[in-house]
């Protein structure tokens, strides 16, 4: 851990970069963000350029506490206040009707804005030091897996960055839950560590979930969060046979597994945790590691079906969708997410 003096100096440098219209990568509890001053359209434009992200994919504005909601949103429903007070700081993004001051470039021209208070001391200190909101997507190239360490950010986007704050590995590891509160009924747009059951318990009402093929948030493409190597989701019972089949075809095979499945020696094996929080925390770093080893395919043992695994399964299914015919599902029992 750097000394408090070094941390303070880093924070001042990062806040100065934001004030000057620069880009700062910073840790959150979910993944690293690529931040700019949310009220500076020219600075926000640099985010889109650095990521190679289409202009109609809106950004989340990171704020320091629930009281700042009124600065960014209007017609805020009671459900938003309830969730903000119970779940923030935390991995939940709320979509609300936007206040006029929110630049079009942040919202992709929509009349809503995504807001969240991240649960990370460096992120909160940076937002406080900047004195405003920080517009930030995940700090990866468009469509790729999100970074969960500062080293991932450096590798992928280092040259485009004015400052990288290193807060160590992210605790949650996958992106925040996104809940749309701008319509008649609360609607889940992206599953995350805050579960539907958790949200329903706070609100005391059911929330709507789109099916996997229904249109979702702009930017929520089915093929997203993908490593460079094609991914195939395989039920545990078929993992060994599938690995052998591909090895016999001369493929270099990597496998992410959570059970004590016997795999051929030639397989580059990554043993995953058995609990969903560990899976989420490790997933993106493992996919990056496998990419770096240069395999022809990544076989991923399908995690269990069930509400606790919804967010992990969502990311895995997107990763498997990214490579068209070469990314596949061998699964029989798929859930909507």
Q: Work out what residue 217 binds among Mg ion, ligand TXA, none; the CB cut-off runs from 5 to 8 Å by kind.
A: ligand TXA
Closest approach, Cβ 198 to ligand TXA, in A, equals 16
CB-based closest residue to Mg ion: 138
* Cα separation values, 327 from 139, 226, 282, 298, 317, Å: 24, 10, 21, 9, 9
Q: Which is nearer to Mg ion, 138 or 148 (CB)?
A: 138
CB of 184 to ligand TXA, least distance (A): 16
Residue span binding Mg ion (CB under 5 A) among the ranges 138-146, 164-172, 244-252, 277-285: 138-146
Q: Report the residue number, 90 or 327, with the smaller CB distance to ligand TXA.
A: 90
User: For residue 16, what is the enclosing H or E element?
Assistant: helix 4-19
138 makes contact with Mg ion (CB under 5 A): yes
> CA dist 161 to 114, 157, 243, 248, 317, Å?
23, 7, 40, 44, 30
Answer with the entry of Mg ion, ligand TXA, none that 207 interacts with (C-beta below 5 to 8 A by kind): none
CB of 262 to ligand TXA, least distance (A): 36
Residues 76/60, Cβ–Cβ less than 8 Å: no
User: Which residue lies nearer to ligand TXA by CB, 278 or 304?
Assistant: 278
CB of 175 to Mg ion, least distance (A): 6
Binding-site ranges for ligand TXA (CB under 6 A): 28, 30-31, 33, 57-60, 91, 93, 95, 107, 110, 112-114, 118, 136-138, 175-176, 178, 189, 217-220
* Nearest-angstrom CA–CA distance, 295 and 163: 33
Asked if 32 and 155 count as a contact pair (C-beta separation under 8 A), the reply is no
Question: At a CB cut-off of 8 Å and minimum separation 6, what does 26 contact?
Answer: 14, 32, 33, 35, 120, 122, 123, 126, 134, 136, 164, 165, 167
Residue 289 partner contact from ligand TXA, Mg ion, none using kind-dependent CB cut-offs of 5 to 8 Å = none
Q: Which is nearer to Mg ion, 138 or 310 (CB)?
A: 138
Stretch of 101-109, 111-119, 137-145, 244-252 contacting Mg ion, by CB under 5 A: 137-145
From the CB of 54, what's the least distance to ligand TXA, in Å?
A: 10
> By C-beta, is 40 or 138 nearer to Mg ion?
138
Q: Which residue lies nearer to ligand TXA by CB, 138 or 331? A: 138
| Burial readout 19-55 (b: 16 or more C-beta within 10 A, e: otherwise) | eebbbbbbbbbbbbbbbbbbbbeebbebbbebbebee
How near is the Cβ of 111 to ligand TXA at its closest, in Å? 8
Q: How far is the CB of 43 from ligand TXA (least distance, A)?
A: 16
The DSSP 8-state label assigned to residue 143 in this structure reads T
Nearer to Mg ion, 271 or 291 (CB): 291
220 binds, among ligand TXA, Mg ion, none (CB under 5 to 8 A by kind): ligand TXA
User: What are residue 60's phi and psi, to 5 degrees?
Assistant: -85, 135
Report the residue closest to ligand TXA, judged by CB: 219
231-234 β-sheet, strand order: 268-271, 253-257, 297-301, 231-234, 328-329
d(CA 132, CA 71): 10
CB 170 within 8 A of CB 29: yes
Residues in contact with Mg ion by the rule CB under 5 A: 138
């Amino acid at each position: 851990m750097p000394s408090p003096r070094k941390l303070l100096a880093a924070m001042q440098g990062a806040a100065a970069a934001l004030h000057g219209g620069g880009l700062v990568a910073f840790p959150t509890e979910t993944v690293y963000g690529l931040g700019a001053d949310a009220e500076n359209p020219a600075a926000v434009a640099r985010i889109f350029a650095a990521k190679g992200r289409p202009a109609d994919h809106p950004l989340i504005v990171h704020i320091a506490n629930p009281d700042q909601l009124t600065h960014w949103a209007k017609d805020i429903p009671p459900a938003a206040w309830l969730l903000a007070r119970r779940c923030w700081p935390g991995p939940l993004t709320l979509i609300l009707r936007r206040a006029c001051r929110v630049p079009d470039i942040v919202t992709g021209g929509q009349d809503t804005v995504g807001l969240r208070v991240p649960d990370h001391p460096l992120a909160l200190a940076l937002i406080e030091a900047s004195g405003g909101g920080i517009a930030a997507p995940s700090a990866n190239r468009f469509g790729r897996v999100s970074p969960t360490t500062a080293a991932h950010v450096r590798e992928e986007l280092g040259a485009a960055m004015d400052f990288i704050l290193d807060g160590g590995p992210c605790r949650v590891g996958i992106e925040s839950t996104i809940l749309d509160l701008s319509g008649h009924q609360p609607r889940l747009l992206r599953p995350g560590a805050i579960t539907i059951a958790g949200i329903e318990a706070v609100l005391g009402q059911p929330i709507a979930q789109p099916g996997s093929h229904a249109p979702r948030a702009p930017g929520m493409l089915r093929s997203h969060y993908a490593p460079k190597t094609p991914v195939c989701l395989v039920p545990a019972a078929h993992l060994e046979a599938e690995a052998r089949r591909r090895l016999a075809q001369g493929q270099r095979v990597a496998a992410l597994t959570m059970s004590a499945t016997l795999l051929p020696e030639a397989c580059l094996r990554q043993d995953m945790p058995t609990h969903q929080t560990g899976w989420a925390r490790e997933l993106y770093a493992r996919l990056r590691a496998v990419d770096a080893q240069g395999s022809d395919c990544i076989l991923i043992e399908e995690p269990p079906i069930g509400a606790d695994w919804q967010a992990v399964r969502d990311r895995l299914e997107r990763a498997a969708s990214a490579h068209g015919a070469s990314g596949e599902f061998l699964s029989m029992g798929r859930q909507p997410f």
